[in-house]
Structure 1
Amino acid sequence: MVLFGGYWAYNQFLQPQGPETIADQHKATIMDQISKNPSRWTDNRKTLDNLMEDVRLGNVIEADIGKEDIYITTKDERAYVVSDQFGQVARQLLNLIYNEKTPVFTIQELKIGHQISAARSLDVAVQLMMVLFFGCLLWPMLSPNLTIRRKKSTSKVTFKDVIGCDEAKRTLMDMTAWLRTPENFALLNARPPRGVLFTGDPGVGKTLLAKALANECGVNFIEANGSSFSSMFYGVGIQKVKGLFREARRKAPCILFIDEIDGIGRRVDQGRLADGEGNRIVNQFLTELDGFSENAGVMLIAATNHVDALDKALRREGRFDRTVHVPLPTLEDRVHLLQLYLGKTKPAENLDYDRLAKNCMGLTPAAIAFVANNAALLAARSSDTEVGMHHILEAIEIQRMGEADENQKLASSKDRRRVAVHEAGHALVGALLNTGRVEKVTILPRGPAQGVTLILPLEDKRLHLQSEIQAQLAMVLAGRAAEANVFQEVSTGAAGDLQEATRIALSMVTSYGMSTDESLSSLATMRELGIEIEARIIMEKVDALLKAGYEKALALIENHRPELDFIVEQLLAHETIGGEVVYQALEPIELQVKSVESAAVA
C-alpha cells in the first residue's frame, strides 16, 4: 500500500512536465472547446456498445479523455460522451490502437496523468497487493528455516535443576565432556557420540534435559519440531532439512534438538504422493546425519513419544549412538518435584510431602507442576493466604478425575442411585482384590463422567503379574456388574469402562501372552512382520478374558451385596466419600480372596 500511494502521488503531483508542444496546444484547444460548450458532448450520452460500433466502422476521428468521461467526436461531426469513471474504457481503446485491431483515430488525455495514469496506478497496485498476499501465504511453507528457532542458550536450567532422570543425565555428561574438551577424546582416538535419542511419555522432561545440556556447555542451541518439516509443496520439506543442518554446521559448536522426531523419521508405505514425499524427507535426513564429520562440533539430540514408529535406519549406531528412556519420577523424585514447584508459591509449613508424593504416583513432572500451580489457584479462589494440604489434594484429584461441576448434577433420583451403584461396584471390587488404594468415590460429574472412583497404585511398579492385570480387569468391569446385579439391567454408563477393559484385554492377548488358551505367540510382532492374523481370532481371545473378568466381578458383588448397599447409601447421602468409608464397610469381613475366586469358577 505504501508503494501504491507513492506511485499514485508521483503520477498525480510530481511527474515531470516537459515544455508545451504542438500536441499540448491541440489538447488545450480541445479543452477550450469542451469548457466553452460542454453540452455539445454531454447532452448526448451513449453506451460503450455505441462507441465500439463507431470504432469498428471507422467513424471515430478523435477521443478525448476527461476526468470521468471520454469525449467522442466522429467524422460526421457527431459529439457524445461515454462514462469512464475508472479508466477501463480508455485502456480498452488504447489496446485496440496498439494491437492495430481498429482504424486509427486520435486518442489523447485532456489532463496528463489522470485517467490513463490512474488506471496504470490501479494495475500496479492490484499486482503489488496480489504479490504481497501470495508471498505472505506461501512464505511460511517455502522458507526452509522459518520454523527453526536458532538461539544461544539463555536458559538458566542446569543438570542440578533437573530432578530424577539419572541415567539420561549420566549420558549427557559424556556429551558435555566432549563439547568442552574434545582433545581428550582425540588423544584416545575415541569417537564422540553422534547423537542421543530420548524416549518416554509426554511431560517427563526430555526437552528440559536438552536445554540443560546446552546451558551446561555454553553453546548454541538450535531447536526444531519434527512436524515443521512437512509441507503441501513438493520438495519443500527436503529443503527445510538441508537448511536446518546447514545452519547447525554454521553455528557449530552447537546442540541440535529435534522434538517429536517421529514427525520426520516415520517411514510409511507409498500409497499416496504425500507418503512418498515423507519418505524422501526421511532419506534426506539420513543423508544429512551421515554427512556429519566427527569434528563437526554438532551434537544431535532428539525426543519422541513413539519410538516404535521411527525408521530403523534412523535408530542404528552411528546416527543415534544412544537411546535413553526417560522414566516417570520415583517416589523420592516426586517429593523433590513437589518441594520445587510448591516452593515457588506460598506453601503452608505443615505439608506432608510423603503423602502428596504417594498421591502423585504415575504423574509426570509436567503434571506435578500443573498440580502445584492449580493448588495455588484454588487457594486464591478461596481467599487463603497460603497453599494448604487440602488445596493440593484437591488439585491432584482434578488432575486425575477432572474438575467437579455441581451444576451438572443428575436431577433424577433413579439416575443418582444407578450411578452410586456403579461407582460402589468399582470401589468394592477394587478394595477386595487390592488393585490399589481406594482414595475417593463420588457421584458428582467429573468431566464427561457422571461419577468417578479414584484408586491409586500402592507402589511404583514396572512389572505387573498376570493375576494383577486380571484383578484390574475385574475392577474396571465391576461397575457394569453392580448395575446388572442390583437393577437386572445395564446402562450406557459403562461405555467408557468397556473401552478401557478392551484395551487391557487386547494388550494381554497381543503383547503379554496372557490369553486364556495360554498362547505364547506375540500377535503384535506377527503384525509387524506382515503375517496376516484374522481379527476374529483375536476378538475371540479378548472376549474370553472380558467374560472371565466380568464373571469374577459379578461373583464378588453377589457375595458382598450388604457391603455394596452400605457404600451406595453413603454415596447418596454425601455424594462424595473417602476411601476409608469403603474399607470401613469391609472391616467385619475376613477376606479370603482364594475361596471367593474358587466360588466364582464353580
Structure 2
Amino acid sequence: MNDMAKNLILWLVIAVVLMSLFQGFGKDDAKRSKIDYTTFVKEISGGQVQQVQIDGEVVKGIRNNQTPFVTYIPSPDLDLLNDLIKNNVKVEGTPPEETSFLTSIFVSWFPMLLLIGVWVFFMRNMQGGGKGGAMSFGKSKAKLMGEDQIKTTFADVAGCDEAKEDVKELVDYLKDSTKFQKLGGRIPTGVLLVGPPGTGKTLLAKAIAGEAKVPFFSISGSDFVEMFVGVGASRVRDMFEQAKKSAPCIIFIDEIDAVGRQRGAGTGGGNDEREQTLNQMLVELDGFEGNEGIIVVAATNRPDVLDPALLRPGRFDRQVVVSLPDVRGREQILNVHMRKIPLSDDVKANVLARGTPGFSGADLANLVNEAALFAARSNKRTVNAEDFEQARDKILMGAERRSLVMTEKDKESTAYHEAGHAIVAKLVPQHHPIHKVTIIPRGRSLGVTQFLPEGDQISQNRTELESSISVAYGGRIAEELIYGLDKVSTGASQDIKQASAIARAMVTEWGFSEKLGPILLTVDSNTLRSNLLSPETGRIIDDEVKFFIDKNYQRAEKILTDNIDILHAMKDALMKYETIDTTQVDDLMARVVVRPPSDWTEEDSVKAEASDKPSDIDLSKKDKPSDIDLSKEDKSSEVDLSKDDTTAEAVDKRSEDEKDKDK
C-alpha cells in the first residue's frame, strides 16, 4: 500500500471518529418526540404521563404507553410540581453535572491538540517517516543489509578485471585483518570508484560485501542534504555510529559528488548545509577518532569536482577506475547476462562483443533484455542471433517507425542521401566498415548508415578525422548532384554539425592546423578562450576550420561525381530492399548484380515486381568509368590531399565557376 492510500485511510478514520463523537451528544434527545407545553399540561390532567425528569427548563418524560417525550417550560411554573404530584406522576430531578478537572482541560485544549497532531503527522511525512518519529531529522537514512542478504560476488562482476584486483585486498582485510597488521600495514579508509555511467561501480561495491560476508550500509549522497542546516552533518555522525556497532563493515555512498563538491566554489561561496556535511564526513573519515574496521566505498562519475581534502591520503586515498569494457570484457559481461535466457546455437558471445564497441555493462544488459523481448514478441522458444541484431539496431539507431507515412519522393531523396554516405565511406581511407544502410525511419532519422568499427578505438589520426568529415557531407552532396542546389533538404543538419565540430576540434584542440600549430585554443570542446585570443587569431581559426571542411567537401564531391552510376544503383537497391548490408554494398561497389537479403522471400519479390521499382539491379551493362580496385591504395576516386587546388583560393574559384555555370 502506498503512502497516499495510507494517508487517505487515516483521514477517513479521523473523520468517522469525530462524526460519531459529535452525534453522541444528541443521541438521547433524538429518540424523544417533542411536544409543546400546553399538550404536556393536558396530558398531565388526563393522567397520561407516568414519569418526568426536570432539568432546569427541560422536561423529559414517559407516557403510560411507554412513549418518551420532551418539552420545554416557557417560564417558571410554580404550580407544575403540585399538578404532577396530584396526578400521581413520578417526578425526578437531575443533579448538577460535575465535570472533572482533566475533562475540562481536554475539552478546552482539544482544538490545540488536534492542530499539534496534524503538524506532527505532516512533519513525519516530510522527513520520510524514519525511526523516532517526526523529530528524527538527524538520523541516518543508510539501509543496512546483513551478511546473508547480499548474494552478489565477484563472479557476477565481469569486464573490469583490473578493478576487481584492486579491491580484492579489501575482502582479505575484512576477513582477516591480522595478516596486514602484523607487518604494520593499514588498509585504505576510503575507496573511490570512478568511471562512466553503467560500468558497474555499484555492483562492484556489493560484490566486495558479498565476498567478505560483512554488513553493508548503502546510502546516496543526496540523502545527507536537507532543508535544515546541520541535518546532513548529524546524519553523517549517526551513520558512522551505526557502522561502529556493526564493524567490520562497508559503507557505500553512491554519487558522492552530490555532497563532496569542492568547498567555496560557485557564486556566494557555496552552500552552508552541504559544506557542513562535507566537513563532518572529512572528520569521520580521518579525524581524532579512528574508525577501525569501517571501509567507505564511494562512487562518482565526476571526480574532477570533488574537494581535494576528500581525495588526500588517509581518506579516499585509493581511486579505482572502472572503465568501459574492451572486447574480452564485453564477452564476459554478455556471458553473465545470457545465463538467464535460453539461447539458440547461432548466438556467439564473442561475435556480439566485437559488434558492440563502446557499450557499457548496462548497455550490454539492455541488449540482452531487448533481444529476449524481440524473441518473446515472435513467440520463439529461444533467442537467436537475429533477435540480437534487431536489439542492437534499436539501441544504436532507434526503434523502427514503419507507421510513418513517406512519399516515394521522400524515400528516393533519403535513399540518395544514405547512398552518398555509404559510397564515400567505402572510398576514403581508414574509415570504419559499413554494417548496413537503411531508409526505414528510426528514432528521429529518416534513414541511417550504420558503421561498425573492427575493434576498440582509443584515438584517431588526421586521416581518419578528415575521412569522417568527407563521409558526413556525402549525403548532402548526393542530394545536390541529383536534385540541384536549390532542392537540397535539411536532412544534413546533424551531419553538418558533426563535421564542423570535428574540424574545429582539429584546429583548436588537437593541433592539426599548420598555421596555428599544436596550441590549445579552447577551454573545453565548445568554448573558445576568447579572453586570451586576439581578433587575428580568431580569424585564422575560422579560416583553418573552413579549409578542412572545404577540402574534404571537394573530395566527397569528386568521389560521388566519378561514381554517379553506383549512386543511382544503390538508390534503386534501397528503394527495393529498404535495407542493405555490407555484402550488398560490396556488390554495388564492384558493379555486379546485387544479391537479395538473406531473409528475402518470394512474396517480397512479387511485391517488388508489382511496384515501379526495378526488379534486378545490374551495373554490368551500364556505361561506367573504369572499374575501381578497392584493394589498391591509389584509388581513382580518392583526391590527393596534398595538392594546392584544395586551398581556400581554389574553393573560391570553384564557387565562381559554379555561379557562371548557373547563369
TM-score range for the pair, normalised by the shorter chain length:
0.7 to 0.9
After superposition, what is the alpha-carbon deviation per residue over 1:243-278, rounded to whole angstroms, capped at 9, x for unaligned?
A: 333333332211111222222222263424864443
One-letter amino acid matched to 2:646: V
Q: Residues 71-470 of structure 1 correspond to what in structure 2 (within 5 A)?
A: 121=110, 124-139=113-128, 143-145=137-139, 147-153=141-147, 154-267=149-262, 269-272=265-268, 275-291=271-287, 296-410=292-406, 412-433=407-428, 434-470=430-466
Distance 1:337 1:346, change over 3 A: same
SS of equivalent residue, structure 2 residue 434: strand
Tell me, yes or no, if the aligned pair for 1:477 and 1:550 is still in contact at 8 Å.
no
Tell me, yes or no, if the aligned pair for 1:473 and 1:546 is still in contact at 8 Å.
no
Q: Does 1:29 align with 2:24?
A: no
Range with greater deviation from structure 2 (574-583 or 32-41) = 32-41
Tell me, yes or no, if the aligned pair for 1:471 and 1:549 is still in contact at 8 Å.
no
Tell me, yes or no, if the aligned pair for 2:58 and 2:71 is still in contact at 8 Å.
no
Tell me, yes or no, if the aligned pair for 1:516 and 1:541 is still in contact at 8 Å.
no
Tell me which residue corresponds to 2:556.
556
The 2-side partners of 1:111 and 1:36 are apart by: 24
TM-score under structure 2 length normalisation: 0.69
Tell me, yes or no, if the aligned pair for 2:372 and 2:383 is still in contact at 8 Å.
yes
Range with greater deviation from structure 2 (580-589 or 401-410) = 580-589
Tell me which residue corresponds to 2:629.
590
The 2-side partners of 1:526 and 1:446 are apart by: 31
After superposition, what is the alpha-carbon deviation per residue over 1:86-111, rounded to whole angstroms, capped at 9, x for unaligned?
A: xxxxxxxxxxxxxxxxxxxxxx9999
SS of equivalent residue, structure 1 residue 32: strand
Root-mean-square deviation over aligned CA pairs: 4.0
Distance 1:518 1:273, change over 3 A: closer
1:36 Cα deviation (Å)? 6.8
The 1-side partners of 2:171 and 2:288 are apart by: 18
The 1-side partners of 2:572 and 2:551 are apart by: 25
Tell me which residue corresponds to 2:65.
none
Range with greater deviation from structure 2 (548-557 or 346-355) = 548-557
Gaps of 5+ in 2: 1-9, 26-51, 62-68, 77-95, 131-135, 591-626, 648-663
SS of equivalent residue, structure 2 residue 374: helix
SS of equivalent residue, structure 1 residue 590: coil
Tell me, yes or no, if the aligned pair for 2:171 and 2:211 is still in contact at 8 Å.
yes
One-letter amino acid matched to 1:128: G
The 2-side partners of 1:270 and 1:359 are apart by: 43
Distance 1:236 1:514, change over 3 A: farther
Tell me which residue corresponds to 1:521.
519
Tell me, yes or no, if the aligned pair for 2:470 and 2:556 is still in contact at 8 Å.
no
Tell me which residue corresponds to 2:545.
545
The 2-side partners of 1:522 and 1:501 are apart by: 20
Tell me, yes or no, if the aligned pair for 2:152 and 2:210 is still in contact at 8 Å.
yes
One-letter amino acid matched to 1:570: A
SS of equivalent residue, structure 2 residue 125: helix
One-letter amino acid matched to 2:156: D
Tell me, yes or no, if the aligned pair for 1:140 and 1:146 is still in contact at 8 Å.
no
The 2-side partners of 1:159 and 1:581 are apart by: 44
1:590 Cα deviation (Å)? 2.7
After superposition, what is the alpha-carbon deviation per residue over 1:542-562, rounded to whole angstroms, capped at 9, x for unaligned?
A: 774366245414422332342
1:397 Cα deviation (Å)? 1.0
1:378 Cα deviation (Å)? 0.7
Gaps of 5+ in 1: 15-24, 42-72, 74-107
The 1-side partners of 2:172 and 2:567 are apart by: 62
Tell me which residue corresponds to 2:48.
none
After superposition, what is the alpha-carbon deviation per residue over 1:172-201, rounded to whole angstroms, capped at 9, x for unaligned?
A: 112122222211221111221222222222
TM-score under structure 1 length normalisation: 0.76
The 2-side partners of 1:507 and 1:300 are apart by: 40
SS of equivalent residue, structure 2 residue 641: helix
The 1-side partners of 2:98 and 2:317 are apart by: 79
After superposition, what is the alpha-carbon deviation per residue over 1:318-368, rounded to whole angstroms, capped at 9, x for unaligned?
A: 222222222222222222332332231110023233322211121112111
> Going by fraction, where is helix more abundant, 1 or 2?
1
After superposition, what is the alpha-carbon deviation per residue over 1:555-584, rounded to whole angstroms, capped at 9, x for unaligned?
A: 223323423333222222222221223233
SS of equivalent residue, structure 2 residue 436: strand
1:212 Cα deviation (Å)? 0.9
Tell me which residue corresponds to 1:67.
none
Tell me which residue corresponds to 1:575.
578
Tell me, yes or no, if the aligned pair for 1:379 and 1:386 is still in contact at 8 Å.
yes
1:158 Cα deviation (Å)? 1.7
After superposition, what is the alpha-carbon deviation per residue over 1:133-165, rounded to whole angstroms, capped at 9, x for unaligned?
A: 243124479734564222125232222332221
The 2-side partners of 1:220 and 1:542 are apart by: 59
One-letter amino acid matched to 2:587: Q
One-letter amino acid matched to 1:214: A
1:238 Cα deviation (Å)? 2.9
Tell me which residue corresponds to 2:608.
none
1:406 Cα deviation (Å)? 0.3
How many equivalent residue pairs? 525
1:297 Cα deviation (Å)? 0.7
Distance 1:31 1:377, change over 3 A: same
The 2-side partners of 1:252 and 1:389 are apart by: 48
One-letter amino acid matched to 2:559: N
SS of equivalent residue, structure 2 residue 57: helix
After superposition, what is the alpha-carbon deviation per residue over 1:423-453, rounded to whole angstroms, capped at 9, x for unaligned?
A: 2232223332342121111122211222222
The 1-side partners of 2:291 and 2:239 are apart by: 18
1:407 Cα deviation (Å)? 0.5
Tell me, yes or no, if the aligned pair for 1:361 and 1:457 is still in contact at 8 Å.
yes
The 2-side partners of 1:292 and 1:601 are apart by: 69
SS of equivalent residue, structure 1 residue 132: helix
1:475 Cα deviation (Å)? 2.7
The 1-side partners of 2:539 and 2:306 are apart by: 28
Tell me which residue corresponds to 1:64.
none
Query: Computing the radius of gyration over CA atoms, which structure comes out larger, 1 or 2?
Result: 2
Tell me, yes or no, if the aligned pair for 1:144 and 1:236 is still in contact at 8 Å.
yes
Range with greater deviation from structure 2 (171-180 or 210-219) = 171-180
SS of equivalent residue, structure 1 residue 244: helix
Distance 1:426 1:163, change over 3 A: same
Distance 1:586 1:474, change over 3 A: same
Distance 1:257 1:115, change over 3 A: closer
SS of equivalent residue, structure 2 residue 251: strand
